[in-house]
Chain A
Amino acid sequence: MKFRVERELLTEALSAAARVASNRNNAMPALSGVHMSVKGDSLVLTCTDNDLSVRSTLSVGGARDGVAVVSAKLISDIVRSMPEEKVTVDAQGDDVMVSAGKSQFTVPTFAATDFPNILVAGTQPVAISAKVFGEALGQVVRASSSDMQRLALTGVLMVAEPNSVCLVATDSYRLAVRELPGATMLGHGAEIVVPGRALSELERMIGAAETMTMALGENRATFEVGGATLTTTLLNVEFPKYRQLISAHYPNKVTTAREPLLEAVRRSRILARETTPVRLEMSSNLIRLSVITQDIGQVVDELDAKLDGSEITVGFNSQYLMDGIDAVKGDEITIESTDPVKPAVLRGVGDKNYLYLVMPQRLTS
């Protein structure tokens, strides 16, 4: 196997491979590798950790057909560090040589036969708007958890509603719900939980793509976008009953400009520590945002706002609040609340398709 390709193209593809390749590789070293297959002028890169697989195709200058499996992290780092724009990768015997200009690396390969076969979801793929789906992932995946002790929370629920599909994620501190009106990628009543890690990788793959497809199998989902395919096993878990967390009515609703609020929270984080809440005092025409961190300092910011309901002061984790304001679309945002210890809801004014529910943090006097 031998090919020559633009360094930047290969670097980008190998970075994705290195993220997917297994870190827990002692029992099956090939899982830490990237499978490279050249046929003509086409290079197919495949990586898997047995739960998540990514396959991407690149146009290269193919010199010799063949396959090789080499450490994904190693070759990713090597190609990124190369001094020239064109990189040559040449597999001979048990080694792969990576060269550019006068630099040459030689690294050992794994046995290609040890690399597992990649299974994809076998059903008919459904075309979906990559732009809309990618935007929805950006709004929802951020609320999923990375705590493997609570496996269900590491996933994103995709559930078919009568005329839409809902994406839902929660880490028990916040909940993000995005509705995709008219989406048909799930059959009637279908409900799946897709690992957040896979969807996060998918969001990167989507980038600026316009179209993509999704296919569902019994226990896996396959997404195709551009020249790349991502297959993930689905989580066999019971997702928390989230609907009961969202009230139909909140007595207090404050409306303010989204971007200035986001900037104010971002500024406040200079002083906020992990446990320091951002305090929002919401009054009739003002939101007063403050952070007081003992021995560090304090910050106060004021924003014009309109309040329907009673004046209320609520504390939030600054990161969770910032994530929510950032995920909401539109120029104006509403924060609806009941009391300082019940969840608040963030929505974009005029946007019925997304909500971000966040639990307050207790305020000490």
Chain B
Amino acid sequence: MRVLIASCSVTYEGRLGASLPRATRLIMIKADGCLAIHSDGGAYKPLNWMNAPNTIEESRDRIIVRNPKNETLTIDIFEVLTDFSHEMGDDPGLSKDGVEADLQILLAAMPESIEPGLTLIRREYPTAVGPVDLLCRDASGQTVAVEIKRRGEIDGVEQLTRYLDCLHADTALGKVRGIFVAQSIKPQARVLAESRDIGWCEVDYDALRGKRPDELKLF
């Protein structure tokens, strides 16, 4: 993330023409190419912005941002007050309970997205240490416990391990194996899962919501 505080004026040309007169503003140039211009007020929208992908040309007193739709944002810099960059690292994202709940609903409707032949026995299957997200049966008839997380980390594997310990005690279910499911799973969590004979699977939330890459389209 590059943070630039400068006295500048801004001209936007694209779907409409807009300009910001000369003033001191905060310009954020993000690692993915997005650019946002803020004033010293308001916590919602920037004064102007360009979403990635962008091409950014920079000279001593001017930054020109272009996107593929030929929209152009020209920032004329009169005085640079602060200019620094900082490596932000991976974004853990905004935690939203709804996403995990939605994932569980979607995967309950389409357990074959986790593994071909998988069918649902029950959602929120109760155990002594809490409910298992999905209890399923695989193509060979074996019971499968599925733990679903938005981001797959070691804690999730530990949680599934506890469920499996309980489920193994229930002789009515027969032999039970586990699958750890998340939108993305950290390498450490994968290693831990594999070391405990727990399967893992990454799923695409958007694809599950109906934007499946294999869906049929006219063109």
Which residues in A have some Cβ–Cβ distance to B below 8 Å?
24, 26-28, 31, 49-51, 151, 170, 172-175, 240, 245, 273-276, 293-296, 317, 341, 343, 357, 359-362, 364
Within the complex, the shortest CB–CB distance from A324 to chain B, in Å, comes to 13
Q: A27-B47, A294-B119 are in contact. Are A362 and B111 (CB under 8 A)?
A: no
Which residue in B106, B122, B216, B219 is a CB contact (below 8 Å) of A275?
B106
Q: Please give the number of chain B residues whose Cβ is less than 8 angstroms from any Cβ of chain A in the complex.
A: 32
- 7 additional A-B residue pairs with CB within 8 Å, beyond A27-B12, A172-B218: A26-B45, A27-B19, A50-B15, A173-B217, A276-B109, A293-B109, A359-B217
Cβ–Cβ contact A359 & B216, under 8 A: yes
**Chain A, interface SS category:** loop
Which residue in B120, B216, B218 is a CB contact (below 8 Å) of A245?
B218
Cβ–Cβ contact A240 & B209, under 8 A: no
In Å, the complex CA distance between A28 and B215 comes to: 41
Which residues in B have some Cβ–Cβ distance to A below 8 Å?
12, 15-16, 18-20, 45-48, 69, 105-106, 108-112, 119-120, 122-123, 208-210, 212, 214-219
Within the complex, the shortest CB–CB distance from B204 to chain A, in Å, comes to 12
In Å, the complex CA distance between A274 and B16 comes to: 36
Closest residue to A151 on the B side, CB-wise?
A: B69
Within the complex, the shortest CB–CB distance from A204 to chain B, in Å, comes to 23
Q: List 19 A-B contacts (CB under 8 A).
A: A27-B12, A27-B19, A27-B20, A49-B16, A51-B15, A151-B69, A170-B218, A173-B218, A175-B218, A240-B219, A273-B109, A275-B109, A293-B109, A294-B108, A296-B109, A317-B210, A360-B216, A361-B215, A362-B214
Which residue in A26, A27, A172, A364 is a CB contact (below 8 Å) of B217?
A172
Residues of B within 8 A of A27 (CB): 12, 18-20, 47-48
Residues of B within 8 A of A360 (CB): 216
A-B interface, 5 closest residue pairs, ranked by CB to CB distance from nearest: A27-B18, A50-B16, A274-B210, A359-B216, A172-B217
Closest residue to A358 on the B side, CB-wise?
A: B218
Residues of A within 8 A of B212 (CB): 275
In Å, the complex CA distance between A151 and B45 comes to: 24
Cβ–Cβ contact B123 & A245, under 8 A: no
In Å, the complex CA distance between A50 and B71 comes to: 15
Within the complex, the shortest CB–CB distance from A135 to chain B, in Å, comes to 24
Cβ–Cβ contact A26 & B47, under 8 A: yes
Cβ–Cβ contact B112 & A295, under 8 A: no
Within the complex, the shortest CB–CB distance from A13 to chain B, in Å, comes to 24
Which residue in A51, A294, A359, A364 is a CB contact (below 8 Å) of B120?
A294
Closest residue to B47 on the A side, CB-wise?
A: A26
In Å, the complex CA distance between A170 and B218 comes to: 9
Which residue in A31, A275, A296 is a CB contact (below 8 Å) of B110?
A275
In Å, the complex CA distance between A360 and B108 comes to: 22
Residues of B within 8 A of A359 (CB): 216-218
Within the complex, the shortest CB–CB distance from A325 to chain B, in Å, comes to 18
Residues of A within 8 A of B109 (CB): 273, 275-276, 293-296
Residues of A within 8 A of B119 (CB): 294
Cβ–Cβ contact A26 & B46, under 8 A: yes
Residues of A within 8 A of B46 (CB): 26
Which residue in A51, A274, A293, A357 is a CB contact (below 8 Å) of B218?
A357
In Å, the complex CA distance between A190 and B69 comes to: 25
Cβ–Cβ contact A341 & B18, under 8 A: no
Within the complex, the shortest CB–CB distance from A297 to chain B, in Å, comes to 12
Which residue in B18, B105, B108 is a CB contact (below 8 Å) of A28?
B18
Residues of B within 8 A of A31 (CB): 16
In Å, the complex CA distance between A57 and B20 comes to: 33
Within the complex, the shortest CB–CB distance from B118 to chain A, in Å, comes to 10
Q: A27-B19, A275-B106 are in contact. Are A245 and B217 (CB under 8 A)?
A: no
Within the complex, the shortest CB–CB distance from A241 to chain B, in Å, comes to 8
